[in-house]
Structure 1
Amino acid sequence: MKKFEEKTIESKEIFKGKIITLQEDIVELPNGKTSKREIIKHPGAVAVIALTEEGKIVMVEQYRKALERSIVEIPAGKLEPGEDPYDSAMRELEEETSYTCGALEHLISFYTSPGFADELVHLYLAKDVVLKENARPADEDEFVEMLHLSLEEAQEYVLHQKIYDAKTAYAVQYLLIQKLQGKR
């Protein structure tokens, strides 16, 4: 038995959408009592830290309906069924920014909201970033504006909540740590 494991007694699908599924589970707690859990199943996602030759971070600004506002983010997107995260990261970088890269380095994978969702984001660092002619077009329901921010500007965006999501704040902190360690 896993530490503090909650054994699923019953699982019921409540909603199945284009991207997510919501299920309600009845679980047995470690003390023998039962409880309900609402869980969002998500296919996973990728995010890419891309730096230009000048050391600027490639970002996109887009409207996020769940927040009812626009925020600035690193390029990112959901995994397609059966898609390798590396391939997805290359695709998302190109679709959202028209940049491509020589290689991607996987930095870390992390859960965004483990209290209620299983979404796992794979974070990559793009190497040898260049603008690509005839890049793949963005998704037809996606409207983004590209920005190039210095690390200092990105930190200001975090402080003023223009950068307001975990993956992008994580990316900015990663770059800051690298800079403080003399690696960037």
Structure 2
Amino acid sequence: MQFEEKPVSSKTVFEGHLIDVEVQQVRTPQGNIAQREIVHHAPAVALLAITADDQMILEKQWRSPIAKTTLEIPAGKVDSRDEDSAKHAAIRELNEETRYQADQLKKLSSFYTSVGCMDEYMTLYLATGLRPVDKELPQDQDEQLVLQTVTLDQALAMIDSGEIEDAKTVMAIYYWQGMKKNGQ
């Protein structure tokens, strides 16, 4: 069965600081013409940061697209400071957002965040052996973050209660639960 759609036309309708939006007219495998609205986003990283006392670091922050405060793991985009290195971005974001550095940084997974409309590709890292940074990097001017730590049981309960709804954070928590079940 053929799945690939062929672009007939394409127009960038928005260029922003964080995203660009493209509207495509495509021909489907059945020969129909359809419109696709595509959000182009820089690659991103996220961190399952586990403290020495076996708690994960969460960030409370305002998210305008959903008009509410969320609890999320540290994350950010790969940008020009990182020379296309997701690992460098993870180290930088951990410093900027939590003021920690990790003795061990392990890639857990990479994934698309919302394939129905966006090309953002995120890499999830496990950060352990956390200690305060030697030199603090500047924080993003548009972010206001409050850190908190929670145990795995607390994090799972927060998913169940709807207090944690962010997909990358839910995924990281379930990954952490799987690590525990496997004795890691």
The two structures share one fold, judged by TM-score above 0.5: yes
Q: Does 1:63 align with 2:62?
A: yes
Moved more, 154-163 or 167-176: 154-163
Distance apart, 1:133 and its partner CA: 4.5
Aligned counterparts of 1:119 and 1:26: Cα–Cα separation in 2: 21
Distance apart, 1:3 and its partner CA: 4.0
Distance apart, 1:27 and its partner CA: 0.6
Letter in 1 for 2:99: S
- SS of the residue corresponding to residue 51 of structure 2 reads coil
Aligned counterparts of 1:141 and 1:19: Cα–Cα separation in 2: 12
Partner in structure 2 of residue 15 of structure 1:
14
Aligned counterparts of 1:32 and 1:134: Cα–Cα separation in 2: 58
Partner in structure 2 of residue 124 of structure 1:
125
Partner in structure 2 of residue 104 of structure 1:
105
**Uncovered stretches (5+) of structure 1, i.e. residues with no partner:** none
Partner in structure 1 of residue 4 of structure 2:
5
Q: What is the CA deviation profile of residues 110-151 of structure 1, one whole-angstrom value per residue up to 9, with x for unaligned ones?
A: 111101100111100113211225422321111000111100
**8 Å contact from structure 2 (residues 51, 128) kept in 1:** no
Q: What is the CA deviation profile of residues 2-49 of structure 1, one whole-angstrom value per residue up to 9, with x for unaligned ones?
A: 940001111100101101001100111011111110000001210011
Q: What is the CA deviation profile of residues 158-182 of structure 1, one whole-angstrom value per residue up to 9, with x for unaligned ones?
A: 1122211110000000011111222
Identity level (%): 36
How many pairs align? 182
- SS of the residue corresponding to residue 101 of structure 1 reads strand
TM-score relative to the length of structure 2: 0.94
Moved more, 154-163 or 133-142: 133-142
TM-score relative to the length of structure 1: 0.94
- SS of the residue corresponding to residue 95 of structure 1 reads helix
Distance apart, 1:61 and its partner CA: 0.7
